[in-house]
């Protein structure tokens, strides 16, 4: 066939004589839309599809035409009549654009449409892609085995429901013929369900169901890999994926690799990661790329990448580059992307790009002026975390002695004896992190009540009230707090300052809230407490200020805490987990989303039977019986 | 009686001071790192995740070497320190908490506390 029936114009097979004059093909509104957009952005005058130079040239070659022609007809992807299929396949640009718009579009935007292409009809108008999405608004409650036959029974046209799926309360499936769409549309409110309600059926034109579009089968992936291998220049460690979609090797195998599709790009990235992580140059030009999400991993998986060519794509904003900002690029090509037009001048363009890639020396083929000396290497290393800092051994002994005594009383169940630890004029206050959670459902609920956070509480009377003053008030307050068990072994102590009259230190660690009333759930919390003390009696300390900050412990903290068996007899021994149990715990935590503490509880309660625990969990979750704290990590 | 009133006033003032202080401190920390050491007394000690840093020079060096930061203060509390500990020098205990993101690192929680001696608004940590 002459190249009128070429790749992008197949749907106009019927109007072959118009092949050269793409303008004349304007009966397809998408085409004209397409063209104008491209022309504006790429400055290309090649009419018709208006793509960048190379693509137009390819279009004009017979070789390309022949291949694409035959491929379309024979492709295994295409199960339906050639006319419909070719229409759908007409130019991936439009294909993709359909998807973005969400609908194949009905109505004539650019002039009348030739014939009856999409079928048009009251099934929701025409569908450029030829597909329609059927939605049953409350379909979730129906058994698919009831619903589909019920529809088929009353639908005047037999149909196959493609990609049936549930989305919240709705049920969707796809059909690919307009006659079917129309017929189904007529079925609305014709079926009565077992509750007496009429089943609603909505039908709208839509983009093709996703499964058809995207995934590459394993054998395709292998071909892709080989194709990429051919395009890899080992001497330069550079990979050229320019316009990969038209690669003869792929096209001849009917493999469609379109890099602006997430799954296709992901597949390519994976192949790079697994085969050529040493990559230094990557050319992705001419691939209609509009997002760089899938390239983020390159930062870690191909850390040597220095040259990146993204020219002739559809990147709309320089913000896309944020996603690959970690790459230490020396050379970058961005020309012929919509984003280039956003900058008022060259200088701001260069500046914006350089901000993301400070080491850049070449942009769009031009050498950049040397960066104005700013220190590219800003420190990013923070000092390693060290353990306790006592300042001196004497003080260490003093403090440890004090803490041991203090916490043995604190954890004993009666905090009254702490009166001896506090000065008459002592002050105490408590702070918890701000939380929007319902306090009654939070394990920190008991503490939230009395939290003194000056960022949140502005009333001076309230602020005053929340500061417990004089030791009687202090200890009375402490006695009302839940029973605790501290992991003294895990305490970290930092001495803030000391003078003859003052010793101030900060203690941090974790503690468990002990369940007094037989409830099995225990929460682990982390605290940071500042003690300001004065010397007392014989080598003792007396507290004048006590500030306590409490939050939920992180998963890591819980894991590390209470490693040694707790000293007091009332505590339950920490079960040591076997390796398989550890694995099961990690898996259960990941799948359920619950933190390790709760996951372990669940597994324990169900005798480490993963499936049983999972069932119980799911049931409880559906019943809304699992508190939010179970999910805080 | 009068003692209580004084204490109440004391507490009120402390709260206000501490609010002002933390604004200045974290603003310096994030945006004018070099000015930060001015807030520390000569003999001040900073203990940072177990690393002890004393004296202006060491403090200067320490803060220079810390990556640039973005602190988000979420909790603040403050108590006047009992005079017995300070021998009459008005001192405040200020305790903060929130999140911080250091350049090149992921966001973390932080807790920090200060002992402020109100002479010329310098602090002793």
Tens digit of each residue's pLDDT (9 = 90 or more) over A510-531: 998 876 666 556 788 999 999 9
Instruction: Determine contact, residues A545/A530, Cβ cutoff 8 Å.
Output: yes
Q: What is the three-class DSSP state of A576?
A: coil
pLDDT at residue A622 is higher than 50: yes
Q: What is the pTM for the complete model shown? A: 0.45
**CA nearest to A447, candidates A486, A406, A475, A477:** A477
Q: Which of A474-478, A490-494, B27-31, B85-89 has the highest mean pLDDT?
A: A474-478
d(CA A560, CA A86): 62
Residues from chain B contacting residue A453 (CB–CB below 8 Å) = 74-77
CA angle (B58, B61, B66) in 5-degree steps? 125
Instruction: Determine contact, residues A110/A28, Cβ cutoff 8 Å.
Output: yes
Q: What is the pLDDT of residue A583?
A: 84
Consecutive 10-residue runs of chain B (125 residues): their mean pLDDT?
68 91 92 85 80 85 88 94 85 91 85 80 41
Strand partners, A496: none
Q: Please give the residue of chain B at the shortest CA–CA distance from A500.
A: B85
Residues 8 to 27 of B: which have CB under 8 A from any A CB? 8, 11-12, 15, 18-19
User: Could you tell me the sign of the dihedral formed by the alpha carbons of A267, A273, A274, A278, in that order?
Assistant: positive
**CA nearest to A408, candidates A545, A543, A560, A569:** A569
Q: Exposed e or buried b for every residue in B2-36, given b needs 16+ CB within 10 A?
A: eeeeebeeebeebbebbeebbeebbebbeeeeeeb
Of A496, A544, A547, the CB nearest to B47: A496
Q: What is the pLDDT of residue A307?
A: 93
Q: How many CB atoms lie within 10 A of CB A445?
A: 16
- Taking only the tens place, the pLDDT of each residue in A431-469 is 998 766 665 556 777 888 889 999 999 999 999 999 999
Cα distances from B85 to residues A298, A427, A619, B110, in angstroms, run: 57, 13, 57, 27
Of A423, A454, A532, the CB nearest to B93: A532
Q: Exposed e or buried b for every residue in A339-353, given b needs 16+ CB within 10 A?
A: bbeeeeeeeebbebb
- Taking only the tens place, the pLDDT of each residue in A563-575 is 655 444 444 445 5
Please tell me the least confidently modeled range out of A55-59, A147-151, B4-8. Answer: A55-59
Q: How many CB atoms lie within 10 A of CB A364?
A: 18
- Taking only the tens place, the pLDDT of each residue in B53-84 is 888 888 888 888 888 899 999 999 999 999 88
pLDDT at residue A100 is higher than 60: no
DSSP A19: S
Whole-complex ipTM:
0.90
Q: What is the pLDDT of residue A557?
A: 84
Q: How far is B92 from chain A, CA to nearest CA, in Å?
A: 10
Binning pLDDT at 50, 70 and 90, where does residue A377 land? low
Average pLDDT over residues A279-297: 92
First to last CA, chain B: 33
Q: How far is B72 from chain A, CA to nearest CA, in Å?
A: 12
Q: What is the pLDDT of residue A527?
A: 93
d(CA A356, CA A216): 33
CB neighbours of A210 closer than 8 A, spacing ≥ 6?
A163
- Report the share of chain A in percent with pLDDT over 70: 72
Question: Do B77 and A547 lie within an 8 Å CB cutoff?
Answer: yes
**Helical ranges in chain B per DSSP H:** 2-31, 56-65, 83-86
Question: Do B45 and A497 lie within an 8 Å CB cutoff?
Answer: yes
Q: How far is B95 from chain A, CA to nearest CA, in Å?
A: 8
Q: What is the pLDDT of residue A453?
A: 92
Please tell me the least confidently modeled range out of A94-98, A111-115, A528-532. Answer: A94-98
d(CA B28, CA A314): 42
Helix A579-592 vs helix A596-605: angle between axes, to the nearest 10 degrees? 110
Binning pLDDT at 50, 70 and 90, where does residue A35 land? very low
Q: Is B66 on the interface with A (CB under 8 A)?
A: yes
DSSP A238: E
Is residue A535 within a helix (H) or strand (E), and if so which, with residue range?
strand A523-536
DSSP A301-370: HSTT--EEE--SS----GGGGGGGTTS--SEEE--SSGGGGG-SSHHHHHHHHHHH-TT--EETTEEPPP
Q: What is the pLDDT of residue A371?
A: 57
Residue-averaged pLDDT of chain B: 84
Question: Do B85 and A545 lie within an 8 Å CB cutoff?
Answer: yes
Q: Which tokens is A326 given?
A: 């970690």
Is residue A426 within a helix (H) or strand (E), and if so which, with residue range?
strand A422-431
**CA nearest to A150, candidates A171, A172, A142:** A142
3-state SS string for A429-452? EEECCCCCCCHHHCCCHHHHCCEC
Binning pLDDT at 50, 70 and 90, where does residue A223 land? confident
Question: Do A547 and B113 lie within an 8 Å CB cutoff?
Answer: yes
């Amino acid at each position: 066939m002459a190249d009128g029936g070429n790749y992008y114009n197949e749907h106009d097979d019927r109007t072959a004589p118009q092949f050269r004059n793409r303008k004349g093909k304007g009966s397809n509104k998408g085409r004209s839309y397409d063209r104008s957009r491209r022309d504006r952005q790429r400055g290309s005058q090649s009419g018709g599809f208006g793509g960048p130079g190379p693509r137009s040239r390819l279009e004009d070659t017979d070789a390309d035409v022949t291949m694409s022609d035959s491929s379309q007809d024979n492709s295994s992807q295409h199960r339906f009549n050639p006319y419909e299929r070719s229409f759908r396949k007409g130019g991936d640009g439009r294909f993709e654009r359909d998807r973005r718009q969400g609908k194949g579009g009905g109505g004539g935007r650019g002039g009348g449409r030739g014939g009856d292409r999409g079928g048009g009809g009251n099934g929701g108008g025409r569908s450029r892609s030829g597909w329609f999405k059927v939605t049953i608004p409350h379909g979730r409650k129906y058994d698919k085995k009831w619903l589909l036959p019920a529809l088929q029974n009353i639908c005047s046209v037999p149909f196959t429901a493609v990609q049936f799926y549930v989305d919240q309360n709705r049920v969707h499936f796809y059909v690919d013929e307009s006659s079917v769409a129309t017929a189904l549309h007529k079925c609305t409110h014709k079926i009565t369900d077992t509750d007496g309600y009429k089943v609603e059926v909505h039908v709208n034109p839509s983009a093709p169901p996703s499964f058809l579009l995207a995934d590459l089968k394993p054998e395709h992936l292998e071909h892709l890999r080989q194709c990429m291998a051919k395009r890899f220049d080992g001497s330069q460690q550079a990979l050229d994926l320019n316009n990969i979609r038209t690669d003869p090797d792929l096209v001849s195998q009917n493999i469609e690799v379109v890099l602006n599709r997430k799954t296709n790009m992901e597949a390519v990235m994976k192949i790079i990661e697994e085969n050529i992580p040493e990559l230094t140059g990557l050319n992705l030009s001419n691939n209609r790329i509009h997002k760089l999400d899938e390239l983020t991993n390159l930062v870690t998986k191909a850390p040597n990448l220095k040259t990146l060519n993204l020219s002739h794509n559809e990147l709309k904003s320089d913000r896309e580059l944020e996603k690959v900002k970690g790459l230490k690029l020396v050379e970058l090509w961005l020309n012929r992307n919509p984003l280039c037009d956003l900058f008022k001048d060259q200088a701001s363009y260069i500046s914006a790009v350089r901000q993301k890639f400070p080491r850049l020396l070449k942009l769009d083929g031009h050498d950049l002026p040397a960066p104005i000396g700013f220190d590219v290497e800003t420190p990013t290393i923070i000092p390693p975390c060290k353990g306790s800092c006592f300042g001196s051994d004497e003080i260490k002994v003093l403090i440890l002695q004090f803490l041991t005594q203090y916490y043995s009383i604190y954890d004993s169940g009666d905090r009254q004896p702490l009166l001896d630890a506090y000065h008459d004029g002592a002050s105490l206050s408590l702070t918890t992190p701000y939380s929007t959670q319902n306090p009654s459902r939070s394990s920190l609920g008991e503490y939230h009540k009395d939290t003194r956070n000056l960022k949140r509480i502005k009333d001076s009377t309230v602020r005053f009230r929340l500061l417990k003053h004089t030791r009687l008030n202090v200890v009375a307050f402490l006695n009302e707090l839940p029973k605790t068990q501290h992991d003294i072994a895990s305490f970290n102590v930092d001495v803030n300052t000391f003078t003859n009259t003052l010793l101030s230190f900060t203690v941090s660690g974790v503690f468990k809230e002990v369940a007094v009333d037989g409830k099995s759930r225990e929460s682990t919390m982390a605290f940071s407490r500042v003690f300001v003390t004065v010397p007392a009696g014989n080598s003792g300390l007396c507290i004048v200020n006590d500030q306590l900050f409490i939050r939920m412990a992180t998963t890591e903290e819980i894991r590390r805490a209470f490693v040694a068996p707790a000293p007091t007899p009332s505590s339950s021994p920490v079960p040591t987990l076997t390796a398989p149990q550890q694995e099961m715990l990690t898996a259960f935590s990941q799948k359920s989303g619950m933190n390790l503490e709760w996951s372990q509880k669940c597994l324990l309660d169900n005798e480490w039977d993963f499936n049983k625990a999972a069932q119980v969990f799911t049931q409880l979750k559906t019943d809304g019986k699992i508190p939010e704290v179970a999910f805080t990590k | 009686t009068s003692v209580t009133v004084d204490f109440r006033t004391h507490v009120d003032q402390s709260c206000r001071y501490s609010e002002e202080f933390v604004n200045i401190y974290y603003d310096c920390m994030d945006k004018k790192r070099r000015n930060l050491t001015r807030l520390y007394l000569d003999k001040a000690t900073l203990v940072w995740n177990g690393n002890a840093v004393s004296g202006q020079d060491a403090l200067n060096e320490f803060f220079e070497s810390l990556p640039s930061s973005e602190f988000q203060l979420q909790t603040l509390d403050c108590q006047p320190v009992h005079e017995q500990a300070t021998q009459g020098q008005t001192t405040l205990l200020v305790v903060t908490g929130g999140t911080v993101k250091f350049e090149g690192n992921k966001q973390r929680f932080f807790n920090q506390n200060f002992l402020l001696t109100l002479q010329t608004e310098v602090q002793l940590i």
